[in-house]
Each structure stands twice: as C-alpha cells, then as structure tokens.
Amino acid sequence: MRIAVQGCCHGELDRVFKTVQRMNSRNKIDLLIILGDFQSIRKPKDFKSISIPPKYQKLGDFHKYYSRNTPAPVPTIFIGGNHESMRHLMLLPYGGYAGKRIYYLGYSNVIWFKGVRIASLSGIWKEWDVDKARPSWEEMESCQWQKNIRSLYHVRKTDILPLMTIKKPLSLMLSHDWPNEITKHGDVAGLLKKKPFFKKDIQNDNLGSPANWKLLQRLRPEWWLSAHLHVRFQAEVDHTTSSEGPLLKKNSDEIDLDMSSDEETASHECPTHSNESTKFLALDKCLPGRQFLEVIEVEADESHPSFKTTEMYWDEEFISNLRYLEKNREALEDKPFSEIELSSLENTADDSGYPPISPHDLIVPRYEYSIQKREKDQTNYFIEKFLTLKDQTNLSNEPSSEDVKKDS
C-alpha cells in the first residue's frame, strides 16, 4: 500500500491536498496520514481553544471541508498535536469523521485500512500532566476556554496504557512528538547542523517523549512516523540487538495493582511481534521548500477483512484493552503512571459484562452526509457499541447532542 505522510499541517489543507492529488494522478496514493497540528478550526469561535498567539491566528482551510462536505482527494487520517482546536477535537475522544474522507483518530487508537494495522497517539508528552484527568468539554466551555488550554494537548496515562498492552504486530505507529531516544539511531550530527539548539535536549534524553520510546521498544512497529520538531529526520532501531529493558520505573515500595482476572498472578508476556527493526521518519511542517510530505510503501495483511474493501476497521485488541481499563478505572485513577506494573495490566481478554464483538461490529460506519457536524453522535455510537456494560445505558460524561447543536 502506498501511503502519503505529512508532517505538521498548520491548517494548510489545500496545499497538502493539492500536492497529494498531483502525486495520486501519477501513481495511486491509497491513504494520506497527517501527523498533527492539523488545526481543525471550524469557525472563529474555535480560536479560543487553540494555543496560538492572536497575531498568528488564521482560519485556515479546514472549515471548507467541514461546512461544505468537500471531500479529501484520498482517504485521510490524522492525529492531534500541540496546536489544535480542542473545542472541536475534544468532542471526538475516540476519533470520528472530521469531514468527507477525513478521519480523526482520537487521543489514541488502533485501526485497520486495506490490510494495514495503524496505531496512534495524539498530543505531546509533559510528565506533570500524565496522571491528571482532562477537564471535560463542558468545563472548558463554561470558562470560555480561558485556562488549561496547553494542558489539553498533553498525553494522559489513559491514552498510553491501551497501547502499551498491544501484543499483535503493527505496521505503523503515529505520534506527534518523537520517541526521546530515537536520535541515537540516526544521523544526529546531520540533525544538529539543521537544529543546533537541540543539542542539550538530545544529551539529556529530553528531545521527545520517554513514553513513546517505551512504546517503540515494546510494540516494534514496522514504521514509526512523527512530526512536531519541524525537521526531517530518519532513523532505524534494530530490535535484534537492543533490549527492551524495564517498561516502567519500578518503585521498591509500591504495591502491585493486580487487575488480572486470573486467580494466579499473571506472568509478563512479551508482545508477539515479528518486526526485527523499526524505521523512523519525522517530517517538516507544510511550507514551500520544506520536506513536509513523502510516500512510503507498506506490505498489507491480505488475510484481514479490510484488505479487500475501502472501509476502515476498528481493532478488536485495542477495544478489548479499552474495556479492560474502563472496568478498572477506579483502581487506576490514583495510581501514578510511573508506578503502574504492566505485568498486572496484561489484558486477559476478560470482556465479561460487555456485549461480544463480532467481525461486522468492527467496521467503521461509512461516511454520511454532514456526519462531521454530529461529533457527539459519533462518540455516543462508539461508547454505546463498545464501552457500555450490559446493565448500563451510558458511560459518557461528554456534553449532550443538544448542547452541541446549540453551539453549531
């Protein structure tokens, strides 16, 4: 499968789409991936929820695709970065359509498209926020988005943990910021020629996310794709010579959070991944003369039902992990991320209390006219389908559909 990969978008959808359209006319592009700073600003009112100084704020191109149902030239998926319209994206925590042929992947996700398994993590790493709960959309709307805007972009443990417990092989992993030790596996001298002010952060392993590095070591995807630092950088991690090491720092005084459904203590199992190395690619932002878009080719799994269709599929293992963590939410809330033992989080596929998942259930519904304007309905659909226990009707704390309609 031929995949076009775009770094930071910064609202320049027309430029990106025109570039992809030209490429597609010469040699078919199956999918476009945009790696954050997408800036899905629907209208001027959304500016108050985006971390951009007023003098640099511009409406961008997204509103045309949102309001006019203008389709993207090829199927497009995107993740969030640290300059996003959170007034929009917070309504789609599990992902959903942002336009015709434009799909947001939510805070974290795993999806299938044409036989390619793609994992994702939106936002950037800030250690001081990883254990904090995000304020709700309603809270932010009531305060007119006057506080905590930047913290909304920061990754939470609830985003990371469903990915940490993935065991089956991944083709692609998408993140906005880099894994923090990736520079050790590429041309760091060449990088410093372009960005000399990175030197101190590289020396201190602070250029990027330590959680992303642990995910890379654990998940071993074929490709890891990032943006954020506005520079092109390539690397390759050889998993045959590197040891994964401890997944999370061990506190000698901690008490294990045993959430296994087995009576016996669950032993830690290494993920069953076949990739001996991970290719890393980071791209620049969308500006003339910059390296902001490239095409990669990925081998598809012809046995997966998505291979022969144009439909996107949710991933059963990821949904099972979400269910497992949802059932143990209270036990996790007060447990610092650094103290969580992944061996006690190993998913035992215990979905008791939840409806069974059939293969048909995993098909993402096809785009419907203007569904992008019904963000809450999309979120409710996912929650009711996958995260609602049999004896409950709704686990969502998001604003009601009527609240969203009043704002539209």
Per-residue pLDDT reduced to its tens digit, 33-76: 999 999 999 999 999 999 998 888 999 999 999 999 999 999 99
Q: In one letter, which amino acid is 254?
A: E
Indicate whether 395 pLDDT > 50. Answer: no
Q: Domain residues for 73?
A: 2-407
Contact call for residues 28 and 319 (beta carbons, < 8 A): no
d(CA 344, CA 153): 28
Helices (H), 334-383: 342-345, 375-382
SS (H, E, C) 98-121: EECCEEECCCEEEEEECCEEEEEE
Q: In one letter, which amino acid is 142?
A: S
Indicate whether 255 pLDDT > 50. Answer: no
pLDDT of residue 316: 96
Q: 346 pLDDT band (50/70/90 cuts)?
A: low
Contact call for residues 208 and 233 (beta carbons, < 8 A): no
d(CA 3, CA 21): 13
d(CA 312, CA 257): 35
Q: 201 pLDDT band (50/70/90 cuts)?
A: very high
Please measure the distance between the N-terminal and C-terminal CA atoms of the chain and give it in whole angstroms: 38
d(CA 291, CA 7): 9
Comparing CA positions, the residue from 84, 79, 82, 93 lying closest to residue 49 is 84
Counting residues of the chain whose pLDDT is more than 70, the rounded percentage is: 86
Contact call for residues 401 and 380 (beta carbons, < 8 A): yes
Q: 351 pLDDT band (50/70/90 cuts)?
A: low
| Total number of domains in the chain | 1
d(CA 278, CA 281): 10
Q: What integer is the mean pLDDT of 191-198?
A: 97
DSSP lists the bridge partners of residue 154 as: 124
d(CA 78, CA 103): 6
